[in-house]
């Protein structure tokens, strides 16, 4: 097993999103016509912009004092619409403040959308099929569908799938071949293996902890290796041959205690051959050279 030098994937392809500043455990963002302040534990440095820029944000998410980074509440400095439309490249989608500090999309994931789209555009043969696990509001699913794939989108939250369907309509992809599945990711993957289903690509963005719709429990540190192993089975052209894995896999992890190397080496045990990338995902600041690290990743595709 080869230890790869870490790569930085920089999401610098946005028009409707800008990271204006970060520091002191927070970030100031321009999201379409509105500005937000949200917690960002990676931003240990001091902010550059004056305090007045931060104080004039349209909304601020105040985190709680506990260990749950997503816990807290929004404070709105002016009345905002419930949602608004943004565009990445040629894909329209809906942004909105959620109860968990998020704005219904993760801008750093555009680096993976480009990667998946490039692979699918170059695909030859029958229509490719992609599995998007922990699919959230569906932007990766829509990018893959627009690139010509059949997509199976899995998330344990009915509400998130509802948001994803809103995005499907906003993108003008109402007729796209997407299956929306509310299920526990690992349970669903095991069922697909028993059915003999195969995919050409798997995308997964697992949380540190979660619950499935039937009370299933997900813990990243204990369940991720099993899920990665199951995913490589879904990518095999021959169910009995581990060396026949073909397609692509994208894994993103936001658990800050897990290094990129731990993720990469765990995934490498499951997948044979192919091309690997691993490292950190970053957002560029508007008008300054520093990068904001957001997550670790591992990506693989067959040669």
Cα separation, 146 vs 274, whole angstroms: 25
CATH number at residue 76: 2.60.40.1180
Q: Which domain holds residue 169?
A: 103-301
Tell me: pLDDT of 68 over 70: no
Residue pair 97/35 in contact (Cβ under 8 Å)? The answer is no
Residue pair 25/47 in contact (Cβ under 8 Å)? The answer is no
pLDDT of residue 17: 98
pLDDT bucket at 1, cuts 50 / 70 / 90: very low
pLDDT of residue 257: 75
> Percent of the chain scored above 70 by pLDDT?
96
Number of helices (H), then strands (E), belonging to the chain: the values are 7, 17
Dihedral of the CA atoms 68, 71, 77, 78 (nearest 10)? 130
Instruction: Tally Cβ neighbours within 10 Å of residue 157.
Output: 18
Cα separation, 152 vs 128, whole angstroms: 11
Structure confidence by residue, pLDDT tens digits, 231-276: 999 998 777 777 788 999 999 999 767 888 889 988 888 887 789 9
Domain check: are 53 and 169 in the same one?
A: no
How many domains is the chain built from?
2
Q: Is 92 inside a domain boundary?
A: no
Q: Is 97 inside a domain boundary?
A: no
Domain check: are 256 and 224 in the same one?
A: yes
Mean pLDDT within 89-95: 97
Structure confidence by residue, pLDDT tens digits, 213-232: 888 888 988 999 999 999 99
- Whole-prediction pTM value? 0.92
3-state secondary structure of 160: helix
- Token look-up 């790869």 returns 4
Residue pair 280/295 in contact (Cβ under 8 Å)? The answer is yes
């Amino acid at each position: 097993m080869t230890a790869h030098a870490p790569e930085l994937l920089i999401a610098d392809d946005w028009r409707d999103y800008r990271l204006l500043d970060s520091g002191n455990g927070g970030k100031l963002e321009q999201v379409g016509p509105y500005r937000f302040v949200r917690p960002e534990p990676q931003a240990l440095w001091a902010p550059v912009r004056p305090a007045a820029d931060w104080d004039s944000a349209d909304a601020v998410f105040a985190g709680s004092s506990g260990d749950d980074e997503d816990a807290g509440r929004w404070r709105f400095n002016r009345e905002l619409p419930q949602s608004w439309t943004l565009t990445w490249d040629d894909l329209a989608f809906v942004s909105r403040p959620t109860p968990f500090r998020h704005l219904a999309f993760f801008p750093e994931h555009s680096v993976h959308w480009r990667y998946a789209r490039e692979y699918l555009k170059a695909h030859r043969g029958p229509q490719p099929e992609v599995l998007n696990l922990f699919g959230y509001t569906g932007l990766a699913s829509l990018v893959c569908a627009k690139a010509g794939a059949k997509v199976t989108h899995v998330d344990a939250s009915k509400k998130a799938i509802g948001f994803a369907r809103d995005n499907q309509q906003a993108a003008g992809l109402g007729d796209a071949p997407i299956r929306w599945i509310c299920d526990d990711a690992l349970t669903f993957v095991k069922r697909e293996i028993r059915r003999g289903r195969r995919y050409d690509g798997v995308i997964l963005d697992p949380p540190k902890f979660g619950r499935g719709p039937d009370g299933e429990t997900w813990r990243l540190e204990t369940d991720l290796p099993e899920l990665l192993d199951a995913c490589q089975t879904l990518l095999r052209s021959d169910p009995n041959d581990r060396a026949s894995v073909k397609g692509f896999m994208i894994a993103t992890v936001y658990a800050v205690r897990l290094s990129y190397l731990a993720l990469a080496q765990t995934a490498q045990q499951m997948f044979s051959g192919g091309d690997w990338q691993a490292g950190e995902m970053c957002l560029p600041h508007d008008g300054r050279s520093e990068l904001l690290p957001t997550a670790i990743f591992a990506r693989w595709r067959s040669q």
